Structure 1
Amino acid sequence: MTSTTTLRPHHKHWPRRLPHAITPPATSLWDNLAVSARRYPDKAALIFFGRQTSYRELCEGTERLAAYLHSIGVRKGDRVILLMQNCPQLVLAHFAILRANAVVVPVNPMNLADELQHYIQDSEARTAIVSAELASELAKASNGLAPAQRLQHMLVTHYTDAFDAGVSGPDAPPAAWASWLTAQHPLPALEGGSVHGWAQALACSAAPPALEVGPDDLSMLPYTSGTTGLPKGCMHTHRSVMHNVEATGLWVTMTPETVSLGVVPMFHITGMVALLHASIFSSVTVVLLPRWDRDLAGHLISHYGVTHWLNIPTMVIDLMASPHLDRYDLSSLVFIGGGGAAMPQAVAQRLFEKFQLHFAEGYGLTETAAPSHFNPPDEAKLQCMGIPWLSTDSRIIDPENLQELPIGEQGEIIIHGPQLFHGYWKQPEASAQAFVELEGKRFFRTGDLGRMDEDGYFFITDRLKRMINASGFKVWPSEVEMLMFRHPAIAEACVIAARDSYRGETVKAVVVLRQEYRGKVGAEDIIAWCREHMAAYKVPRIVEFVDALPKSGSGKVMWRLLQEAEQNKP
């Protein structure tokens, strides 16, 4: 470890036990699993509805699956789509893709066929690993593409491949989950390709290919949206992810005795890096939940003595509102924190008064491999991004002249550090525009407006980019608009944020109908159509019809006027 970072205001609140910068291992991310398996072969790596997977089993499984992927043509640098909820198969498949020298393309399982086509087409993936209840939607997406763009192989797993569907007692899943968690789905037809079963793949007896990837090879291609166009792939190497993997363990004090609640989605950059990879690096035991359920979460924390819970604040709000809260023993928790939305002060106060737990908020982006800022667990401030963490420099600049601003002034947040992505996949112009040079260092422009206080803590105040934060899910209006324009009745649409007492923000669409549909298509019709064509969290909850959208002299929709009018509503 080194400590070469120039002293900044936040260093006076720096955890004394930590250096300002670190030197991560110069190895592949898969090596982290191999090391943990050698050190703790019989230790539980994963617990899923009562079934434990040891580090040895997990590591051996990744090698068999990597061998199978190699046998069907996956080679170094190939992109492989990974589409499923949190489960042991996601962890195993993720590391198997890395072990096969390939690149993980994590995709949100809430996406529908219209959205999934972009991930297949843009990443040029020819292989996908998917859970059975999502396989038909992915096949539908692939089958709708030109033959040269389609998937060639789809590997399908059922959740019951990783647990006993008949499990009872405290480890049983909620009864309401039975229909999707234990259902057996027929394998879909993949036009021009082959569909493979999970058991068949894990029975592979061939040797895996030689491990050829190292720190500077591409490891994953998570997608992020922006102000215009479709989602863009963020190129992360093993090195850029490795930094935040080790940094997470150090910051929140992960050890091999840590038990973590794995409920933050692992397709998302935060769950993928700060939960999945950080846990494997530190030989942690992860208790997995495929979806959020407040009472199941409370039970699992109590039953397994969970010590670390990375989450979205809305999860804590939900658990604290449970009528069964007094049944749960949360005394084992030593760290609770997360990001994606601000933690209300009243909830944080109740959390502390009842359980003596401080909620530590953090901030990160897909481009920064999750955290770039985090509150020191012992000196956390509420509604605050935290401080730039290990090896990271962050400034506030004037977005127009790109000059650094004094303490307390609002400007654009920029970030420099080893966790930064290497640019957007196949988009050199967008990549160039995403960075700015300051004092000889390359900083990423976040598009978020904020300020830094005298202690060096950062606070978000506004956004330069259009983005809606609904319960921690980032919704990009331009993407929703592009999908809505496919509706035959919609002439124009502008998507903005509306206040929501639970989600923080929700999606609102201001719509101009084509003349022939006026009076014939209602808001519920539009919402129902959206539910069929986009992920649930992107669907507008509110649709307002207008005769025309406000436009500038150049014909651009003036979305800010609509957003400001919405914000000014009583």
Structure 2
Amino acid sequence: MQNKQPARPHLQFWPKRVPTEIVLPETSLWYNLEVSAHRYADKAAIRYFGNAITFRALREQAEALAGWLQHKAGVKKGDRVLLYMQNCPQFIISYYAILRADAVVVPVNPMNRAEEFKHYVTDAQARVAICTADLAAGAAAADAELPAEQRLQHLLVTQYADALPPAHEHPEDAPPAWLTATHALPPGATAWQDALAGAPAPREHTAGPDDMAVMPYTSGTTGFPKGCIHTHRSVMHNVVGGSTWSGSGAESVILSVLPLFHVTGMQYGMNGPIFSGATVVMLPRWDREVAGRLISRYQVTHWTNIPTMVIDFLASPNLEQFDLSSLRYIGGGGAAMPQAVAERLKQQFGLSYLEGYGLSETMAPTHSNPSERPKLQCLGVPTFNTEARVIDPVTLAELPPNEIGEIIVSGPQVFKGYWGKPEATKEAFIEFEGRTYFRTGDLGRMDEEGYYFITDRLKRMINASGFKVWPAEVENLLYKHPDIQEACIIGTRDPYRGETVKAVVVLRAHAKGKTTEEQIVEWAKENMAAYKYPRVVEFVDALPKSGTGKVMWRQLQETENARAAAQGKATSA
């Protein structure tokens, strides 16, 4: 029986210069750096506070570190290696060194606290971690609390200053104090410079397209974060596809400001430019004034971001002084771009903001907006070699245009499953008309022209400025507080972040009338990533529960939504 082909009305709006399908290299991600280092040996691969690192130097340092990983740290093919740092050249060097060693990169959000870090060590069964010195003490302390058989065997530590030039030719953009500060190394840790100095040559690179390459973690609706198994092939799809879609080549200059541990920053701010031979201008933390000067100075052509960055950028009092004439691609995702902001970007600078959609499970986009005909607050159309449908989440029947259902996707960029979680993997996929699709858990619709729009989340998730916060994970951490008996996490409106985290808490008897909401917030701030901890705490005597004893979080969320709506009406009256 012939499989039914999905309707593809969006192809009539496909960019004419872009093929509808791409052919992937049958090579590893490491080979992308190998090729660019041969083709563009003395071209700047990274520009970082005045320091230019060539493709040749990038390859040499990655190979030296790969030699240390294999011969000194005992890393074998398929081993998971944690990469725990903010954006800096050492992230890219480490990432490609791990790949060169035939191992698997496990990127860890540098905002994670010690308690959260433990999970990555134990779940990924990692024995080696590479981190920056500002995070090393916390990582070592967390590791020491684990059973001996689960602990790290090697901790490699770099100072941010290891990649900084001795002087900066542009004093106004000199590195901030947090980058120049040095921190003591934990006992037994290996210093970055020591690892690179005199490291033996790595063994022959044997990883192929179907070997594991990267395992980013994503949070589910229950429990702790889950590792997404990605091969060199699944990562390569959006490396090649992203460069092709955005028109990036060796002459391109990329502003890399999204976190590299996150799949969007990883693909558009690192892997894509290395594949195409483009130059990365790296900004470790968002700063609108520095970003404007970097775009002007280095004639940046491509900038992938999140809408809150653009909103902040356009609010700069120095906006008129920035030269944005070189920009030819600007886009991103994580949250919808407000229509008024997108229209101002178009009218003032002639730039169309191209929104896209993807997940950790798809290693960045499954959908992107065509440059010639984008739609505002829209996910876009399915990308190269990718199929998408909208189905009824209960009956699994396909729905017609403009009916809301669950978005499912199928394509080469889809992950292979959740690490060590066969049941969760089984639940994440369905067979649909002879093809395997990933259930995104996002509710949306497709219009008559084949463009997709997100309307709600089937899964229980809070979207705070593009950062996904999963209530069950925050609840698990809150339960470690000695004064908390029960907790339920919901979303609440926030004027800047759009949505932020609220904890509805039942205190233990001994804490009632003593522990304050502010104390809970401060404790959470110390024990959770900055985007994740509750900004608002409400004490209640009891949480609403169903007949089976489950907390009725939807009821709490609906009450919160109604309260916010009432406040909005009162404010506007």
How many angstroms does 1:25 deviate by? Answer: 0.2
How many angstroms does 1:169 deviate by? Answer: 2.3
Secondary structure class of the residue paired with 1:419: coil
Q: List aligned pairs for 1:362-373, cutoff 5 A.
A: 362-373=356-367
1:142 pairs with 2:182: no
**How many angstroms apart in 2 are the aligned matches of 1:170 and 1:26?**
45
- Cross-structure match for 1:16: 16
How many angstroms does 1:167 deviate by? Answer: 2.4
How many angstroms does 1:283 deviate by? Answer: 0.5
- Which runs of no fewer than 5 residues in structure 1 stay unpaired? none
Cα pair 1:80 1:128 within 8 Å, conserved: yes
- Cross-structure match for 2:125: 124
**How many angstroms apart in 1 are the aligned matches of 2:400 and 2:199?**
62
Moved more, 102-111 or 377-386: 377-386
Please tell me the residue identity of whatever aligns with 2:216. Answer: P
Cα pair 1:68 1:204 within 8 Å, conserved: no
Moved more, 406-415 or 344-353: 344-353
1:246 pairs with 2:247: no
Could you say if the C-alpha distance between residues 132 and 101 of structure 1 is closer, same or farther in structure 2, counting changes exceeding 3 Å? same
How many angstroms does 1:329 deviate by? Answer: 1.1
1:63 pairs with 2:63: yes
**Identity of aligned pairs, percent?**
60
Secondary structure class of the residue paired with 2:393: coil
Please tell me the residue identity of whatever aligns with 2:55. Answer: Y
1:101 pairs with 2:102: yes
- Cross-structure match for 1:443: 437
**How many angstroms apart in 2 are the aligned matches of 1:14 and 1:172?**
40
**Cα-Cα RMSD:** 1.3
How many angstroms does 1:546 deviate by? Answer: 0.9
- Cross-structure match for 2:45: 45
1:478 pairs with 2:476: no
**How many angstroms apart in 2 are the aligned matches of 1:284 and 1:229?**
40
How many angstroms does 1:225 deviate by? Answer: 0.3
> 1:319-372, CA deviations, whole angstroms, 9 ceiling, x for partnerless residues?
111112122111110000000011011111111111111100000000001100
1:201 pairs with 2:202: no
Could you say if the C-alpha distance between residues 474 and 15 of structure 1 is closer, same or farther in structure 2, counting changes exceeding 3 Å? same
Could you say if the C-alpha distance between residues 246 and 171 of structure 1 is closer, same or farther in structure 2, counting changes exceeding 3 Å? farther
Please tell me the residue identity of whatever aligns with 1:550. Answer: P
- Cross-structure match for 1:82: 83
1:300 pairs with 2:301: no
Secondary structure class of the residue paired with 1:568: helix
Moved more, 395-404 or 349-358: 349-358
**How many angstroms apart in 2 are the aligned matches of 1:331 and 1:67?**
43
Match of 1:353 among 339, 347, 356: 347
Q: List aligned pairs for 1:421-432, cutoff 5 A.
A: 421-432=415-426
- Cross-structure match for 2:507: 513
Cα pair 1:67 1:204 within 8 Å, conserved: no
Q: List aligned pairs for 1:164-179, cutoff 5 A.
A: 164=165, 166-167=167-168, 169-170=170-171, 172-173=173-174, 177-178=176-177
Please tell me the residue identity of whatever aligns with 1:266. Answer: L
Moved more, 269-278 or 388-397: 269-278
**How many angstroms apart in 2 are the aligned matches of 1:431 and 1:476?**
18
Cα pair 1:50 1:171 within 8 Å, conserved: no
How many angstroms does 1:205 deviate by? Answer: 4.1
How many angstroms does 1:171 deviate by? Answer: 6.6
How many angstroms does 1:567 deviate by? Answer: 1.5
Cα pair 2:65 2:199 within 8 Å, conserved: no
How many angstroms does 1:19 deviate by? Answer: 2.1
Cα pair 1:500 1:506 within 8 Å, conserved: yes
How many angstroms does 1:20 deviate by? Answer: 1.8
Cα pair 1:85 1:109 within 8 Å, conserved: yes
**How many angstroms apart in 2 are the aligned matches of 1:162 and 1:196?**
17
Q: List aligned pairs for 1:329-478, cutoff 5 A.
A: 329-478=323-472
Secondary structure class of the residue paired with 2:189: strand
Q: What is the TM-score when the length of structure 2 is the normalising length?
A: 0.96
**How many angstroms apart in 2 are the aligned matches of 1:483 and 1:6?**
43
Match of 1:551 among 545, 548, 553: 545
> 1:467-511, CA deviations, whole angstroms, 9 ceiling, x for partnerless residues?
111111111110000000111111111111111121111111111
- Which runs of no fewer than 5 residues in structure 2 stay unpaired? 567-573
Moved more, 7-16 or 481-490: 7-16
> 1:224-276, CA deviations, whole angstroms, 9 ceiling, x for partnerless residues?
00100000000000011111110000000001000000101000011112321
**How many angstroms apart in 2 are the aligned matches of 1:458 and 1:111?**
33
State the aligned residue count.
560
1:32 pairs with 2:26: no
How many angstroms does 1:215 deviate by? Answer: 0.5
**How many angstroms apart in 2 are the aligned matches of 1:441 and 1:183?**
53
**How many angstroms apart in 1 are the aligned matches of 2:317 and 2:261?**
31
How many angstroms does 1:75 deviate by? Answer: 0.8
**How many angstroms apart in 1 are the aligned matches of 2:172 and 2:143?**
37
How many angstroms does 1:21 deviate by? Answer: 1.6
**How many angstroms apart in 2 are the aligned matches of 1:555 and 1:540?**
24
Cα pair 1:165 1:182 within 8 Å, conserved: no
Secondary structure class of the residue paired with 2:531: helix
**How many angstroms apart in 1 are the aligned matches of 2:172 and 2:298?**
10
Match of 1:188 among 186, 189, 192: 186
Q: List aligned pairs for 1:304-323, cutoff 5 A.
A: 304-323=298-317
- Cross-structure match for 2:569: none
**How many angstroms apart in 2 are the aligned matches of 1:509 and 1:448?**
23
- Cross-structure match for 2:207: 213
Cα pair 1:218 1:235 within 8 Å, conserved: yes
**How many angstroms apart in 1 are the aligned matches of 2:456 and 2:118?**
32
Match of 1:324 among 299, 315, 318: 318
Secondary structure class of the residue paired with 1:82: strand
**How many angstroms apart in 1 are the aligned matches of 2:532 and 2:174?**
27
Cα pair 2:273 2:280 within 8 Å, conserved: yes
**How many angstroms apart in 2 are the aligned matches of 1:87 and 1:204?**
23
- Cross-structure match for 1:286: 280
> 1:149-172, CA deviations, whole angstroms, 9 ceiling, x for partnerless residues?
111101111111111354252573
How many angstroms does 1:521 deviate by? Answer: 0.8
Match of 2:491 among 493, 497, 503: 497
Cα pair 1:249 1:278 within 8 Å, conserved: yes
How many angstroms does 1:7 deviate by? Answer: 5.4
How many angstroms does 1:173 deviate by? Answer: 3.1
Cα pair 2:307 2:335 within 8 Å, conserved: yes
> 1:266-305, CA deviations, whole angstroms, 9 ceiling, x for partnerless residues?
0001111232111100101000011111111111111110
**How many angstroms apart in 2 are the aligned matches of 1:401 and 1:150?**
45
Cα pair 1:65 1:204 within 8 Å, conserved: no
Cα pair 1:87 1:288 within 8 Å, conserved: yes
Cα pair 2:493 2:499 within 8 Å, conserved: yes
Cα pair 2:106 2:215 within 8 Å, conserved: yes
- Cross-structure match for 1:530: 524
- After superposing on structure 2, the runs of 4+ consecutive aligned residues of structure 1 that deviate more than 6 Å are none
How many angstroms does 1:562 deviate by? Answer: 1.0
Q: List aligned pairs for 1:216-227, cutoff 5 A.
A: 216-227=210-221
